[in-house]
Amino acid sequence: MARALIAVSDDGFTYTTLNGATSRYSDTGQAISYLGDYARETATPLAVTIGDGEKTTEIGIDVNGKVGAAPSPSSDTGTEAAPTESSSAAPANGAGGSAGHTGDAGHDETATSNGDSYPTGTPFSGPAVPAAPTVKKTPVKKRSASGRPQRLKKITVPGLVLIGLAILMIGAFVVPNIVPVNSDGAPQTIGSEQEVNPASELSVDSTQDVVPSYVNSPTWETKVPKRASVTASDRGVLLVNDNKLEVLDADTGKSRYKAKISESPTFAVDTVIDGRPALLWQSGNTAEALFDGDSKPKTYQLPEKARITSAGKSVLIKSGNRLSTFGADGLENVPTPQAGSTPMAIDDDELFSSDWNGPVKAQNIKTGEERSIKLESPGDELQIIDWISAGHGKAITLWGEQGASTNSGHRIQLVVHSLDDGSILSTVTTTTDIVGEKSWVRGQAGQRAYIGPYLFDLESGLLLMDVSSRDIHLSEPRGTIVPCTMDTNSSCLLAGKQAFKTDTELLAVVDKGHEALVLGEDSTVRAYPKKSETQDR
């Protein structure tokens, strides 16, 4: 009888060790489910130890994949136990607001959950302050990030995620199909007609412009407190300083709203609420939305321990087992998807959710009408090995041969699908070393997104740039311009197929690209207009 270990870690995930290899799962239920698949497909019964660092539970999985009581010692054939996890592991629901949940240790949540209990135990967007798991994992050769500069010259966090708070996007879970060691089904190299996308031609240039292709004379400028946290978007410039919050008009720099606050915002984003654009920010259990044209924000009381995601055009809120979104008159309930599915994003009144293998379900949150979206496969014998993200009309997934996982070191396919019909918009042949553990980062204004070294046009879903062959590291895009670092110590701005070395702190590109907002070294926000075509020549 083979042995497996399930370790519930304090980073919000569950780690399963089998046949000497460790894989990451979203929760205990999914780990047990896939161990059941392994037992059934290989006709191998399993003795499973589930531990959280404080206590352990023993269960058994028979050759039919069914979970039962732990086998008696006499039923063990003497197979060596899998490597044990570190004693530092803690219950998954105790770290950083993550969605991991152990439930009853011997209970398969994915098999028996229902509409009332779902989505307990599934990954969901929320503040992520994960501690690195110390369980033993298969070593993977990683690119060194040593010497990479930190570009925080002030307490300035552009991109509408304030005060250094990382937002964990939907779908950050790993559930590879398990293949026996030395099996004929082990992953093989995936062929590709081209190794590097033609769009990856890149030149490095110097510039005299504060922002490439923008006039150096500002249309307006506004002094801000030196120690303020500053973030900007089409909807406004948000300043947080001590116990004061202020929103400046992005078109004029004039103050739109001021207030004293008792708690600093931890999340802010441009969004659309019942068809009206708004700048929304969250402070504790309260959210405020400043609609375009209004002088005062609307206040929303959030459910206790609410977690929100801006993966889609509208904000999705989860509290316990309930989903909701922001409406003009208050929070609006969102239908809970069927058991086994993970809610990912809301676009144009549709909630997108999917189980591990798809298809994607899109349900209208107002009418209840539902449609199914089958994702086109990028190749024969390929299957989804990871959901990266969904929203803004796109689904981003990793595909590989059976047995591949996000940390297995195999060649894989990074695929961008349309959420209209499931068709493939772009495919990148890559490896798990490059993108396996990376996040999909959407930029300000929703025009660009990147994962690892790959930059995409978020509107078309097409790959724009592959900087994997250059010492260039991308940051959150501002409109069509992408802040970056190169040569480990030089700041740059990537515009088109040119990287310009500059120390400019670009906050946002607004007014459909016609204006760039910059924070100067003198703590002044300035707006620079786009050059005309004749000026740009």
pLDDT for the residue numbered 35: 87
Local structure of residue 94 (DSSP, 8 states): G
Instruction: Tell me how far CA of residue 309 lies from CA of 317, 364, 389, in angstroms.
Output: 7, 18, 11
490 beta partners: 486
- Listed in sequence order, the residues at least 6 apart from 512 whose beta carbon sits closer than 8 Å to its beta carbon are none
C-alpha dihedral, 9 to 11 to 13 to 15, nearest 10° = -40
Q: What share of the chain is helix, strand, coil (3-state, %, to 5)?
A: 5, 40, 55
Separation between Cα atoms, residue 339 and residue 115, nearest integer Å:
6
Q: Positive or negative CA dihedral for 224, 296, 234, 313?
A: positive
Intervals of the chain under pLDDT 70: 10-13, 20-27, 72-200, 534-537
pLDDT for the residue numbered 181: 29
pLDDT for the residue numbered 200: 60
Q: Where are the domains of the chain?
A: 1-108, 198-529
Q: Positive or negative CA dihedral for 399, 400, 405, 411?
A: negative
Q: Tell which residue, 529, 518, 533, has the closest CA to residue 237.
A: 518
pLDDT for the residue numbered 97: 32
How far out from the chain centre does Cα 374 lie? Answer: 22
pLDDT for the residue numbered 442: 94
pLDDT for the residue numbered 102: 30
pTM of the model: 0.67
Start-to-end C-alpha separation, the chain: 73
Topology of the domain covering 198-529: Methylamine Dehydrogenase; Chain H (2.130.10)
Find where tokens 């994960």 sit: 130
pLDDT for the residue numbered 138: 34
Question: What are the tokens at 133?
Answer: 């798991």
- How many CB atoms sit inside 10 A of residue 372's CB? 11
Residue 129, Cβ density class (10 Å: 0-12 exposed, 13-18 middle, ≥19 buried): middle
